[in-house]
Structure 1
């Protein structure tokens, strides 16, 4: 193994800034694009004809981004090295008719997105952010990043059964946040408020994709600040590490592969959308890259046959209070290095040859890695990995960083693991 990389807390500091600035998938891809622009990447439009020039390029589509770097001398059949991640996180999202209320409280009607730990959204100061669609056909990002909403929990004096039976939440009745007082609830109040916040004229907004977020800033935690608490680590931690690795790899010469970053939306609800991993976005970009360099379908087939994707997503660190929920011989630890995810029923896409690819990257980077497999008695989650492998016919390996409190409004990871993951991803992209 190479010498281990010297830990740079600046990477984790930068991750925390990225998390705070990215309350929605739309903000996450905009911030990723801005970072890639600074590294010399240029945006290309899907509606334009593409040229087979070298250099860094990226495509934005809603809450998804695909970025790639074409090295000098890359042939049409040059394989790709892909880092896959997702941009969405479980949360509370605003309904089409958002204005509601009862008993003197003004509330916002929300719908549950993905599988959040619902109790983690109670009694928490929430902001509101997302994408506004305007009358002229354009869009505008909005981020009210201050205490605006709150889902108040019922006092224990009014529900003594909580102590014995646990908290039981009705998704429709118990999770509508309050944002003011008054009996005069009027349709259009929330959107009018956001138009004013965004400097838009009344009636200019005709559509919206809005969601709540915790306004508490990411922070170091613990006696020695070895832990990081923050929102949306699942899975902006991987998107941040992937963009860092892509920018680093693009600065190298004589790359044997074309490095790619694919950040998809809608992983938390099945990936079936035009911006999800089960959609056509990634395959279209890769094929157009081959054809733009003068390639044929045969070149496309050769390139895909030699391609490898690392599907990077957060995984479960062993929980000190619930160790029996984990496989007894697989206990990934926080700050123990990235994890390799394995499931023989293909809930993860890793096989033995994929493990060898990841092990080689970690060895080259001097990074230790761990293995995660579920307890046989517990159902296993899944990722974009199996979807990517099946849809595009490319070798895919599931990896990530071990965290606690997955799907909470605030999750917990080690301060070193994001840095170690990024170093392993750089080595993977370099081949």
Structure 2
């Protein structure tokens, strides 16, 4: 019999459901929106006029969602408290001409998205998910969540040096197999039209990606770990949505916001990315809808703080020399504060104080993360948000292992701790 956790596992159980149901950014934002709607939030369209009404609202654009809650009596210059995250994960994405193959094998042509660990996609049962665009410009989500595809590894008999350093050619070695026979142009899209119960020829565009069909699971003797896909960064999207929904019932002096962007893994330069105008436009329109002026907007932004929540590296027991020798984030040690003086992370001393105060109010332990000086440091939406909008930004997250793998690993209590820290922050 397993040892019970120190914390309620209800949040982590719900995260597991969220991960399994969100194989693409489009599914992730739809599922986040559904959770917010249960808390009374309503979708507003960017093409409609916005009014000064209070309550919870959200905007969906592609794989991005911006949601906010306007409390009663909020002035036009009321500052925002933002939880920032991203919805995309490194994976393999379907090319514009997807049907390919050779030697009697039918394959799907894919392109590598983001900095994925390529070997983790080998010999794994894969599904296919994403967004279909119809002739009238509307979209339909599709999720083939069964063993449809497989990227077969070369047998060791044909590559005796594989265990001494596997090198994969991104073009030649990663095209998944999905059947036998002659290649037929348009076959994949016709198959997906059938899966989505659409007429043949109705789909004219697509944004599709493969995913591991193995569900998230607790791991370890005492089930204190969580293994699953897309933790980077759906842990933060899920925690941010939960915190925003919970904060909507509070007496607030800030306007709480969830900003979950797409395309962080390839630089954020997209209309749905953090380097695009979406967040700034939504915040400005919220100010102006409440009768605000440019002066009110400037005052609101000057008092705004963003927690950029993304995963970071837990200390790896087999590669401890790759980490900073004095900073060892541990699983189930609470969220991490990410610092880089070269501004790969946006945290400074003032931001550290904001995060520390939120964790203290919530009774949540927290840790420091800094990269080894001898290795390059990753980055997040944090510095982009700070520079683009002039908003004080703090980089935080959950420490994980196997980042950018098809299947990652974290402490099973850390998502709950993160959500509580975010709730405390949004409540101010």
- Whether the TM-score (by the shorter chain) exceeds 0.5 is yes
Matched, 1:27 2:55: no
- Distance in 2 between residues matched to 1:137 and 1:428, nearest whole Å: 39
TM-score normalised by length of structure 2: 0.98
SS in 2 for 1:248: helix
Q: Give me the whole-angstrom Cα distance separating, in 1, the residues matched to 2:95 and 2:32.
A: 27
Q: Residues 293-343 of structure 1: CA distance to partner in whole angstroms, max 9, x if unpaired?
A: 000000000000000000000000000000000000000000000000000
Q: Distance in 1 between matches of 2:170 and 2:134?
A: 30
1:248-287 matches, within 5 Å, as 248-253=246-251, 255-287=252-284
Counterpart-to-counterpart distance in 1, 2:307 and 2:6: 24
**Paired residue for 1:242?**
240
CA distance in 2, matches of 1:138, 1:75: 37
* Separation in 1, partners of 2:42, 2:395: 29
Q: Deviations over 1:64-100 (max 9, x none)?
A: 0000000011000000000000000000000000000
Q: Cα offset for 1:163?
A: 2.8
Q: Which residue of 2 aligns with 1:70?
A: 70
In the alignment, the residues of structure 1 paired with residue 186 and residue 420 of structure 2 have an alpha-carbon distance, to the nearest angstrom, of: 48
Output one character per residue of 1:209-237: Cα deviation in whole Å (capped at 9) or x when no partner. Answer: 00000000000000000000000000000
In structure 2, C-alpha distance between the alignment counterparts of 1:211 and 1:52, rounded to whole Å: 39
Q: Is structure 2 residue 296 aligned with structure 1 residue 299?
A: yes
Deviations, residues 110-146 of structure 1 (Å, cap 9, x unaligned): 0000010000000000000000000121110000000
- TM alignment of 1:206-217, pairs within 5 A: 206-217=204-215
Give yes or no for the alignment of 1:357 onto 2:348. no
Q: Choose which of 283, 288, 291 in structure 1 pairs with 2:285.
A: 288
Distance in 2 (CA, whole Å) between partners of 1:137 and 1:401 is 38
What is the Cα-based RMSD across aligned positions, in Å?
Answer: 0.8
Q: How does 1:82-161 map to 2 (within 5 A)?
A: 82-161=82-161
Instruction: Give the 4+ runs in structure 1 shifted more than 6 A.
Output: none
Secondary structure at 1:399's aligned position in 2?
A: strand
What corresponds to 1:195 in structure 2? 193
- Give me the whole-angstrom Cα distance separating, in 2, the residues matched to 1:396 and 1:153: 43
Stretches of structure 1 lacking an aligned partner (at least 5 in a row): none
Distance 2:163 2:134 in 1: 48
* Count of residue pairs the alignment pairs up: 424
CA distance in 2, matches of 1:66, 1:348: 22
- Identify unmatched segments of 5+ residues in structure 2: none
Matches of 1:187 and 1:286, distance apart in 2: 45
CA distance in structure 2 between the aligned counterparts of 1:291 and 1:8, rounded to whole angstroms: 41
Which residue of 1 is the match for residue 309 of structure 2? Answer: 312
Change (3 A) 1:225 1:6: closer
Give the CA deviation at 1:392: 0.1
> Where does residue 180 of structure 1 map in the other structure?
179
Structure-1 residue corresponding to 2:407: 410
Aligned residue for 2:53, secondary structure, equals: coil
Query: Residue 335 of structure 1 corresponds to which residue in structure 2?
Result: 332
Q: Deviations over 1:243-296 (max 9, x none)?
A: 00000000112x010000000000000000000000000000000000000000
SS in 2 for 1:195: helix
Determine helix, strand or coil for the equivalent of 1:427: helix
Q: Judging changes above 3 Å, is the alpha-carbon distance between structure 1 residues 169 and 6 closer, same or farther for their aligned structure 2 residues?
A: closer
Q: Residue 6 of structure 1: CA displacement?
A: 6.6
User: How many angstroms apart in 2 are the aligned matches of 1:7 and 1:222?
Assistant: 17
